[in-house]
Amino acid sequence: MKKIEKELEGGGGGERDGNRKSEKDLSWIPKVIKKRVCTIFVEDSSSNGALCQCGGARELHVSTDACDGVVGQWDSAQHTSEYPTDAFGELEFAGAGRRHSPFLRLSHDTHPDNVYSLMTNQWGLPIPNLVVSVVGGEGKDKVKTWVREVIRQGLVRAAQSTGAWIMTAGLREGVGRCVGEAVRDHCATASSLSQAKVIAVGVAPWGLIHQRQQLINPQGSFPARYYVQNMPHDACCLDNNHQAFLLVDDGSVGHRGCETKFRANLEDFISHQRTGIWGSGSIEIPVLCVLIAGDAAMLERVDLSLQNSTPWLVLAGSGPAADLIAGILRDLNTPLTPPVSPTLQSAAGEAREINSAELRDRVAARIKKQFPLGNQVEKLVDQALSIYQNRELITVFHGDQEGQDDFDTVILKALVRAAKRDSNDASEYTEELKLAVAWNRVDIAKSELFNGDVHWRYEDLEDSMTDALVNDKPQFVRLFVENGLNILDYLTYHRLERLYGSLSDCTLVHSFLQRRLQERVGLAASQTQLSFTPDENSSLKIPMNTTTNSSAAQQITLYEVSRVLHEIMKDVCQPLYYGPLGLDQGVNSRKAMKHVNKLLLNESPYQKQHCATPWVALFIWAVLQNRREMSIYFWEMAGESVLSALAGCKILRELSKSETETENKLSMKELAQTFENLAHDVFSECDQSDESRSYKLLIRQSSVWGGATCLQMATAADARLFFSHDGVQNLLSEIWWGDMDSNTEVWKLVLSFFLPPFIFSNLISFREHDNNEKDEEHEQGKEFDSVEGVESLAEVINTEEEVEENSALKGNPEGPNADTQKRPFIFRRWRQFWFAPVTSFLGNVLTYFLFLFLFAYVLLVDFKPPPPNGPAPSELVLYFWVFTLVCEEIRQTFFVGSTSLVQRMKLYIQDIWNKCDLTAILLFILGLILRMFPWSYNFGRAVMCVDYMVFTLRLIHIFAVHKQLGPKIIIVGKMVKDVFFFLFFLGVWLMAYGVANQALIYSYDSRPGWITRRVFYRPYMHIYGQIPLDEIDADIEYGKDCTDNVTLINDGAEPCPQSEANWLVLILLSVYLLVTNILLVNLLIAMFSYTFNKVQEHSDVYWKFQRYNLIVEYHSRPCLAPPLIIISHLHIFIKRVIWRVPSVKIQHFMLKLKGKEASWLNTWESTLKENLLSIQGKKQRESDTERLKRTSTKVDNVLKQMVEIRDHDRRLRKLESEVEYCSNALSWIVEALSQSDLIKKASPPPPPPSKGIASKGSTFRRRKLR
């Protein structure tokens, strides 16, 4: 350990960035840890000189010091040499979807001190409270069922309660595989808050591992992808359920046992390390070895550990070695040497020799019985006697005396048992497996087909996996993946296309895909007709291509899938599958279809490629079909959990809008809400674990999802619940306030805004970033942060454009923050205040009020006549002010974002407040043009007045950021929708009453203006109580001058109301007022009340969701407000157009992570996701439903036992009847013999058995007396 600390201290001179720090941490491993390579060839006589006794070929021994025939036995210490290790880092099992497992190749004589320090300090494994070392049970032999149950129900559960390490051989075979599966299952049910965690550590021989070349990398592998496919039956691969691997190397190849001594030394070293319950450090770590089965060589392993005083637990009945030790301890009950008196030394020596000889004979006989073909019996006897001498450290457990039957099978179990009698080849079980998939009996498949007896190959599971996917059998998909199916090798792009082609015709996605397919096929047909000419070349080539590849061209391809996904996802992300097709992201659809058709004319090379992200591809495939359980499972296995869940939510909500069936629509919405909840819960776990890292998770660009971020996907998916999370809001608040304290009062901002010297006082608190101190604090406890490019959030969202310019023009390698730290305090504090989005917002609010004041002043006081008398200077200032607003809208439309110009314009128009801005600007331009001419001056003034109202309404959006006003604005917006529904009903009644009223009272008045006023305006005013009875009730005389002359009326005279239908007019007025004032108005109040109560509960959620857009807008805005914003626009124009300096602010809240940083962030997210799933799984198992299921299972077992008891009772009664018959027959025989002359009359018959022992005793006494 001291050697490791010295290497860590001497790695470099004060390097601060993460990548160099990481390289320094890993550089000591090849210096300290060595590997073994056989350098002297010792011929193996059984291989005809082709192999060395180490197991390696002759050509692998580069040394010229070959000693063929000189050395009789190969020895690792003499014939191997040490070299720096070339296999270490993190191990990723291809397709397993698990967290990365650290691994290390090391020499068999490596000191355990260095290894234990590496495991606890560098790998981050928790210090164990218990170490359970499981030995034996290796190879392809069957593990007994009761042993499996002991491991699962007893060993792992006990280890989990204490937080233990379980050390195994680490291979996917025998007991090691059982332990790995048990640890996986129990860790999945453990609470993430529990401090007790079971860690499965594999200590495997390096030369025995199949495909070990994949792990070799002298610089370290992060990660090393471990592919195992079509493994030979006698080969051994690493088990993917272990959390760490120590690969022991003694230079041999294909030999077992080289790790025995190292493992015993490691166990002995750990047993002397101090720890306590929950890490108190008060006691030594207990180490327990468990022996399961084992061969003759296992006796040496047990003896070696017993000499180190390591206790052992032997499972009697599990196998030869365990049975041998249990039998020896049971038979040899007498002590090895009797008590010796000091005065009888010679006699004691003779007795010891005799006793030892007898014991050796007994032990040898038992060894020959257990290992009849074994050699070196004397050596085994010595080891057995040595084990017997340490019998106090051995505990024997007889687990085979308790049988358990946890499975209920009928027909399929009999078929599988019949197949087991013939062969253990997996091909014999293919039909049974397909039958299990068809019947959906995953329980029988687990118990009979995937219990370790059958060696399943990839080809055996491939077809069944496809059947399980197509037929929606997620439990079988999980089972196949857990039992060796490599999803990376399985899912090629061609198979993915076949999966999309297998969609049901009734699904919505199938119709979308078929529509895009018809477009491509139609374009291909038109191209064929246009390109077909009567010359010889075309007449020969085109028919041949179309006939040979027409079927392939008419199948669904990745292009159709990409088009459908792009239509669903909109502009959130780039097309997902354009890369394998060789398409650029910005290509139009027609060129893309031509390229795909040309690609399909020949054999498509992309179809043979393996999918880069198989779990994500299957997740999308399942989500598009609205398959709940399967999509959730694929989400669990896929990476980037938060973003994937939000993407699933987005897809389902978009599909639900097009779905016509109510049931499917509701299920889509429900599943979408489930994924939003999962995204919320996973991010909650991330935020609780590390706040700063969770911020990076929100703004990280994903290469898997086409460059999208979590915030973008949540906005597109309308994930209000996700946005309402405190972590998201804290990020937005931190961005909003910049480097200022988020609790700063508004009056302090206003005061500092108008009196800038207060910026340099302590009136406002600012966050000061000291990167050096941060690195020193976090480097000790967080391995994820030791990477180049890991920046604080303030650096990621930095809006200092001057810093961008310097870093881009000068090529500053230290990043923007270095330039910021070199500035004087005055400049740094000035920029921290003025470049904060909240300051920009405050400036825009204040200047907007000034703008409205200036606008109102111009309209009310200083609106001059047309030129040459006007406009006034104040009006010219207003024109310039609006011009700066127009420049800002142009900047937001054409210079914000990284998408195409058309997409930017679409995004700009989609926002309702942008529409409001565009309307206000267009109205202002119209009013400006009209007021310049005398003939349209008044109309231009009217347009200006309306435009002022539009500009004033724009204040609503500005105050949406307020915590109290924001939710109320949301409620008002919802109520406006209710008003439109109310106006529809009101318009119907208003039109009906207005037309009838006008026709009955003023039928001779044909003036259009007055007709419109009496039909629409007057009935509308009736609602508010303005009812002119003198104009409606003709029977009332008011002495008002009126006329019935049409000519006078057309000249402007007041018409007289007609009294012929006066009664009908009054009735219509009463009905109209009853409906509008009582019915419709109260209906509107009820709608407002319902909307208020409904939205009030979630108004905070709605407001937090809409707050994001406002923050993004002001984060991208220049610090200066209109009209001074023109200075910032000129500055931006010079930098972007003339200097060609790229802007970070073009990409809103986007962070590009590459290499180790991205990998570690994904690993951290996956780890927390697994913790969350463990908690949820535990809660589900503790629910009442699951308890009822378990109770039902127990009742079924009791009923089975009752049936067995009845059967036993029936058999006992039958036996009693037979015994009674035999008793009667014997009585008859005795009586017949007593009456015959064959026996003496004086001899009495034997007593009946019912008289018992007393009768026997009396009979014996009578015989003795006679």
pLDDT at 597: 85
Distance CA 804, CA 801 (A): 5
Asked if 325 and 302 touch (Cβ cutoff 8 Å), the reply is yes
**Which residue stretches of 1040-1080 are H helix?**
1046-1051, 1062-1073
pLDDT tens sequence across 367-386: 887 777 666 788 888 888 88
Burial string for 335-370 (b: 16+ CB within 10 Å, else e) reads: eeeeeeeeeeeeebeeeeeeeeeebeeebeebbeeb
381, 382, 358: which is closest to 370 by C-alpha? 381
Distance CA 225, CA 96 (A): 11
Whether residue 810 is predicted with pLDDT greater than 90 in this model: the reply is no
Whether residue 104 is predicted with pLDDT greater than 60 in this model: the reply is yes
874, 893, 872, 884: which is closest to 847 by C-alpha? 884
Residue 861 phi/psi, 5-degree rounding, is -120, -45
pLDDT at 790: 37
DSSP class of residue 701 equals P
Distance CA 232, CA 485 (A): 15
pLDDT tens sequence across 663-706: 999 999 999 999 999 999 999 999 999 888 999 899 898 989 98
Residue 1117 phi/psi, 5-degree rounding, is -75, 150
Whether residue 72 is predicted with pLDDT greater than 80 in this model: the reply is no
Identify whether 868 is preceded by a cis peptide bond (ω within 30 of 0): yes
Task: Supply the pTM of this predicted model.
Answer: 0.61
Count Cβ atoms below 10 Å from residue 692 Cβ, excluding itself: 17
Distance CA 1069, CA 1083 (A): 20
pLDDT range class, residue 546, cuts 50, 70, 90: very low
Q: Which residue has the higher pLDDT, 309 or 268?
A: 268
Q: Which residue has the higher pLDDT, 1088 or 18?
A: 1088
Distance CA 630, CA 671 (A): 12
Distance spanning both ends of the chain, measured CA to CA: 90
Asked if 982 and 1087 touch (Cβ cutoff 8 Å), the reply is yes
pLDDT tens sequence across 1131-1161: 888 887 788 776 655 554 788 888 888 889 9
385, 383, 443, 369: which is closest to 413 by C-alpha? 443
Tokens linked to 398: 């007889």
pLDDT range class, residue 1034, cuts 50, 70, 90: low
Whether residue 1093 is predicted with pLDDT greater than 90 in this model: the reply is no
Give the lowest-confidence range in 156-170, 965-979, 1232-1246.
1232-1246
pLDDT tens sequence across 547-583: 334 566 678 899 999 999 988 988 788 888 888 888 8
Asked if 192 and 158 touch (Cβ cutoff 8 Å), the reply is no
pLDDT range class, residue 95, cuts 50, 70, 90: low
CA dihedral 278, 280, 285, 290 (to 10 degrees): -20
SS (H, E, C) 70-126: CCCCCCHHHHEEEEECCCEEEEEECCCCCCCEEEEEEECCCCHHHHHHHHHHHCCCC
pLDDT at 535: 45
Q: Which residue has the higher pLDDT, 109 or 925?
A: 925
Whether residue 777 is predicted with pLDDT greater than 70 in this model: the reply is no
pLDDT range class, residue 542, cuts 50, 70, 90: very low
pLDDT at 134: 86
Determine the longest span between alpha carbons in the chain, in angstroms.
164
- What is the amino acid identity at position 92? E
